């Protein structure tokens, strides 16, 4: 069952500027919502996109930034509306961690085309908290 009241802190490896040097960074995770899963990151791949974002090669990076969007993790907690996963399950997290869930693309389960999609890192959740990626101990993401 998800916890809507408890915020957690975690540690990730963050770039603080376009030098892209990663350093330990402690930050607060958003609350686990009814459709979310709280996961322990077991593995995260390194992709060229992570490097481009960390170095601000696209001119749109926000710092501090914890990159990483090829994530394998273990479910530690599920939100009250989550039925697909249970505590202990092995899960994967990609680049999209949220969307509007109301448009035609979301309804057809093609959230990657949603105009309101939320990226795994270098973006902002609907509650205003910045997204942080998989170069971290834990993550909270939408169960879809």
Q: CATH code at 69?
A: 3.90.180.10
Q: Is the residue at 124 inside a domain?
A: no
Q: Is the residue at 109 inside a domain?
A: no
Condensed to tens digits (0 to 9), the pLDDT of residues 45-97 reads: 999 999 999 999 999 999 999 999 999 999 999 999 999 999 999 999 999 99
Longest dimension (CA), the chain: 42
Q: Is the residue at 1 inside a domain?
A: no
Q: Is the residue at 15 inside a domain?
A: yes
Would the pTM count as exceeding 0.85? yes
Closest CA to 35 of 98, 94, 96: 98
Domain count, the chain: 1
Condensed to tens digits (0 to 9), the pLDDT of residues 36-53 reads: 999 999 999 999 999 999
Q: Is the residue at 119 inside a domain?
A: no
Q: Is the residue at 62 inside a domain?
A: yes
């Amino acid at each position: 069952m998800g916890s809507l009241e408890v915020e957690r802190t975690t540690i990730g490896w963050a770039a603080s500027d376009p030098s892209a040097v990663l350093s330990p960074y402690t930050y607060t995770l958003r609350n686990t919502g009814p459709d979310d899963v709280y996961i322990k990151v077991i593995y995260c791949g390194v992709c060229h996109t992570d490097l481009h974002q960390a170095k601000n090669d696209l001119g749109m990076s926000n710092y501090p930034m914890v990159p990483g969007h090829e994530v394998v993790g273990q479910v530690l907690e599920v939100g009250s509306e989550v039925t697909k996963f249970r505590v202990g399950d092995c899960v994967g997290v990609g680049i999209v961690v949220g969307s509007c869930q109301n448009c035609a693309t979301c309804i057809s389960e093609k959230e990657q085309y949603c105009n309101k999609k939320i990226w795994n890192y270098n973006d902002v959740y609907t509650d205003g908290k910045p997204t942080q990626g998989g170069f971290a101990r834990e993550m909270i993401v939408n169960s879809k």
